[in-house]
């Protein structure tokens, strides 16, 4: 019951609930970006969907910071899309996991808009369109989303030379359910959940760092959700930047619980908790909410952990 309530809260809080409204403009990436199917053949552990992939957002009701959002539903064929750096390439790369309660993907709010920010900073952005709906967190329903995340990191490293990426500076950034997915990958990288497909699966799928934004599924009233979902950080877990608002209906304890778990095993972590902001703001700045300045804090953090060069005065 607790899992069901949390899943509903995640979807409602981000205004991502409607899967029956009229379709608007479809998502397929703009020309000039490299898009690859994640799997060379049939996907492992396929998840049934209720129809074809589509944007099911209501342009009037599904609005964040005065701008409509895109709700991408029924994903059964996962892909990765490369957004190359603009200007000087730093060599760093980030694989982005949009949120949506493991039911849909906020593909622009927590996907393409993130890539616009990162590429402007000289960082390669790889947007993962992972399988939904209702795949759920690993250990509760399906391994599909975590399989997709593991595979994506391996593919990025396999293409590192071609894409001008440093394979030792590949991180992940996830929102809401995608934040949980970033944490799950950070603690489940030693063994693939699927049979090896090709050379990409011989690459490490351990992220070098993780940015976790308003995560879900990491805490419950009994304070043992990490155990229930087999989230057990070790000293080898990658460093993390974690941000959440205290008034988030998905509950700030998700961020705090993971931060304390990392602290216990002495993994460097930076926790930012703000009093207001709710859930599902993405990167869209709002003057009334200081929490929406989190991207600037991430840029500084990436310098402190030596992923990005220190800015010159």
- Among residues 128, 235, 226, the alpha carbon closest in space to that of 184 is found at 226
- The whole-number pLDDT of residue 2 equals 44
pLDDT tens-digit profile, the chain (313 residues): 444 444 434 444 443 333 333 333 446 787 889 999 999 999 999 999 989 998 888 887 888 888 988 889 999 999 999 999 998 999 999 999 999 999 999 999 999 999 999 999 999 999 999 999 899 998 888 999 999 999 999 999 999 999 999 999 999 999 999 999 999 999 999 999 999 999 999 999 999 999 999 999 998 766 667 777 889 999 999 999 999 999 999 999 999 999 999 999 999 999 999 999 999 999 998 989 999 999 999 999 999 999 999 876 6
Residue with tokens 């709010």: 109
Residues paired with residue 72 on neighbouring β-strands, in sequence order: 55, 105
- The whole-number pLDDT of residue 10 equals 46
- Among residues 11, 79, 25, the alpha carbon closest in space to that of 54 is found at 25
Q: Is 246 exposed, middle or buried (0-12, 13-18, 19+ CB in 10 A)?
A: middle
Q: Cα separations (Å) of 48 from 79, 154, 236?
A: 17, 25, 35
Three-class HEC string of the chain:
CHHHHHHHHHHHHCCCCCCCCCCCCCCCCCCCCEEEECCCCCCCCCCCCCCCCEECCCCCCCEECCEECCCEECCCCCEEEEECCCCCCCCCEEEEECCCCCCEECCHHHHHHHHHHHHHCCCEEEEEECCCCCCCCCCCCCCHHHHHHHHHHHHHHHCHHHHCCCCCCEEEEEECHHHHHHHHHHHCCCCCCCCCCCHHHHCCCCCCCEEEECCCCCCCCCCCHHHHCCCCCCCCCCCEEEEEECCCCCCCHHHHHHHHHHHHCCCCEEEEEECCCCCCCCCCCCCCCHHHHHHHHHHHHHHHCCCCCCCCC
Q: Report residue 154 CA to chain centroid gap.
A: 16
- For residues 89 and 164, the answer to whether their CB atoms sit within 8 Å is yes
Residue with tokens 């589509």: 54
Q: CA 10 to CA 5: how far, in whole Å?
A: 9
Q: CA 100 to CA 133: how far, in whole Å?
A: 9
Residues paired with residue 240 on neighbouring β-strands, in sequence order: 210, 269
Q: Looking at the whole model, is its pTM more than 0.85?
A: yes
- The whole-number pLDDT of residue 221 equals 66
- The whole-number pLDDT of residue 266 equals 98
- For residues 63 and 21, the answer to whether their CB atoms sit within 8 Å is no
Q: CA 259 to CA 279: how far, in whole Å?
A: 19
């Amino acid at each position: 019951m607790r899992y069901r309530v949390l899943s509903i809260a995640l979807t409602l809080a981000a205004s991502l609930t409607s899967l029956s409204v009229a379709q608007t403009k479809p998502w397929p990436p703009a020309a000039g970006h490299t898009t690859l199917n994640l799997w060379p053949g049939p996907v492992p552990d396929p998840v049934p969907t209720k129809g074809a992939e589509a944007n099911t957002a209501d342009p009037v009701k599904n609005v964040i910071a005065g701008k409509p959002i895109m709700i991408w539903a029924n994903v059964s064929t996962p892909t990765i899309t490369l957004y190359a750096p603009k200007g000087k390439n730093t060599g760093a790369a980030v694989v982005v996991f949009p949120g949506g309660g493991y039911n849909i993907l906020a593909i622009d709010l927590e996907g393409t808009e993130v890539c616009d920010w990162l590429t402007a900073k000289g960082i390669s952005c790889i947007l993962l369109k992972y399988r939904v709906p209702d795949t759920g967190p690993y250990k509760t329903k399906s391994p599909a989303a975590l399989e997709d995340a593991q595979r994506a990191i391996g593919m990025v490293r396999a293409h590192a030379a071609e894409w001008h990426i440093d394979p030792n500076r590949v991180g992940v950034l996830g929102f809401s359910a995608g934040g949980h997915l970033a944490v799950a990958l950070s603690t489940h990288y030693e063994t693939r959940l699927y049979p090896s497909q090709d050379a990409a699966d011989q690459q490490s799928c351990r992220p070098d760092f993780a940015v976790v934004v308003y995560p879900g599924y990491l805490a419950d009233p009994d304070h043992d959700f990490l155990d229930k979902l087999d989230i057990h950080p070790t000293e080898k877990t990658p460093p993390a930047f974690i941000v959440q608002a205290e008034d988030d209906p998905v509950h700030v304890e998700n961020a705090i619980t993971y931060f304390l778990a990392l602290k216990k095993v002495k993994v460097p972590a930076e926790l930012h908790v703000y009093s207001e902001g709710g859930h599902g703001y993405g990167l869209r700045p709002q003057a009334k909410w200081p929490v929406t300045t989190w991207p600037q804090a991430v840029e500084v953090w990436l310098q402190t952990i030596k992923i990005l060069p220190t800015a010159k005065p």
